[in-house]
């Protein structure tokens, strides 16, 4: 199984091939944007090359000129997503004010849910399937980063700068309470009404929740 960090070779611009033309770059971007829409709505198993081609406005043979398979498209999408996924946690600064850093991390994750809802659903769908294409990433890069920041949060607790909390579960809770607004936006709209932004009041509520929880 190819890993996200090493996606299957794409035909135009693959290693040793001529650089992509502007048209090739444009078509590749159209395919990936269409694939993001299809995969985020149907998951990997429910998506088909035909659906992606239709969404991109290209023929199936034209799509297969750029990517060998559905798996190649999916791997390219995940590769593009993963570095962005780590960025908010990377910014949690061990030298900063603990409560400010944790609340800022929560707000960055909430902003990602607003700006990149399809990417969040793509990631969630992959995890729900057992993370077959993300296992290596999660067990290496993501785990190492989470462990590093958990040690920082635990130290802040021992120093009395925030309340002592389980740092891993704190991070997991931030993921759950922010990504919910992307992954379950349809449910929120059905409950609160389509006229409401799913995130209305979310930041204020989460600020209050974590401020109270983290108060030393």
Report the number of distinct structural domains present in the chain. 2
- Quote the longest CA-to-CA distance of the chain: 62
Q: pLDDT tens track of the chain, all 216 residues?
A: 344 443 344 455 444 455 668 888 899 999 999 999 999 888 888 999 999 999 999 999 999 999 999 999 998 888 888 888 899 999 999 999 999 999 999 999 999 999 999 999 989 988 988 988 889 899 999 999 999 999 999 999 999 999 999 999 999 999 999 999 999 999 999 999 999 899 999 999 999 999 999 999
Provide the b/e sequence for 162-177 (b: ≥16 CB within 10 Å): beebebeebbebbeeb
Residue 58 and residue 162 in one domain: no
Say if residue 103 is in the same domain as residue 161.
yes
End-to-end CA distance of the chain: 47
Question: Of 79, 103, 137, which marks where a domain is finished?
Answer: 79
Question: For the whole prediction, is pTM greater than 0.75?
Answer: yes
The answer on 16 and 97 residing in a single domain is no
User: Would residue 85 count as lying in a domain?
Assistant: no
Range of the domain at 19: 1-79
Residues 141 and 48 in one domain: no
- 111 in a structural domain: yes
What's the rounded Cα separation, in Å, for the pair 25 and 140? 31
One domain for residues 45 and 125: no
Instruction: Check whether residue 72 and residue 102 sit in a common domain.
Output: no
The CATH number of residue 96's host domain is 1.10.357.10
Q: What is the CATH number of the domain that holds 67?
A: 1.10.10.60
As a whole number of angstroms, the distance between CA 107 and CA 96 comes to: 16
Which of these three, 20, 53, 79, is where a domain ends? Answer: 79
């Amino acid at each position: 199984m190819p890993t996200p960090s090493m996606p299957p070779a794409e035909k135009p611009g693959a290693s040793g091939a001529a650089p992509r033309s502007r048209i090739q770059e444009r078509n590749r971007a159209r395919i990936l944007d269409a694939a993001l829409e299809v995969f985020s709505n149907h998951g990997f198993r429910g998506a088909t090359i035909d659906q992606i081609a239709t969404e991109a406005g290209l023929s199936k043979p034209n799509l297969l000129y750029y990517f060998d398979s559905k798996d190649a498209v999916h791997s390219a999408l995940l590769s593009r997503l993963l570095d962005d996924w780590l960025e908010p946690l990377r910014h949690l600064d061990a030298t900063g004010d603990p409560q400010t850093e944790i609340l800022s991390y929560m707000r960055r994750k909430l902003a990602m849910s607003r700006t990149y809802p399809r990417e969040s659903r793509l990631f969630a769908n992959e995890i729900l399937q057992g993370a077959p294409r993300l296992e290596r990433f999660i067990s290496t890069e993501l785990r190492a980063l989470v462990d590093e920041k958990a040690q920082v949060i635990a130290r802040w607790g021992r120093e009395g700068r925030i309340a002592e909390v389980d740092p891993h579960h704190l991070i997991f809770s931030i993921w759950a309470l922010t990504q919910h607004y992307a992954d379950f936006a349809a449910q929120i709209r059905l409950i609160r009404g389509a006229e409401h932004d799913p995130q209305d009041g979310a930041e204020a509520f989460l600020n209050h929740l974590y401020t109270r929880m983290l108060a030393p």
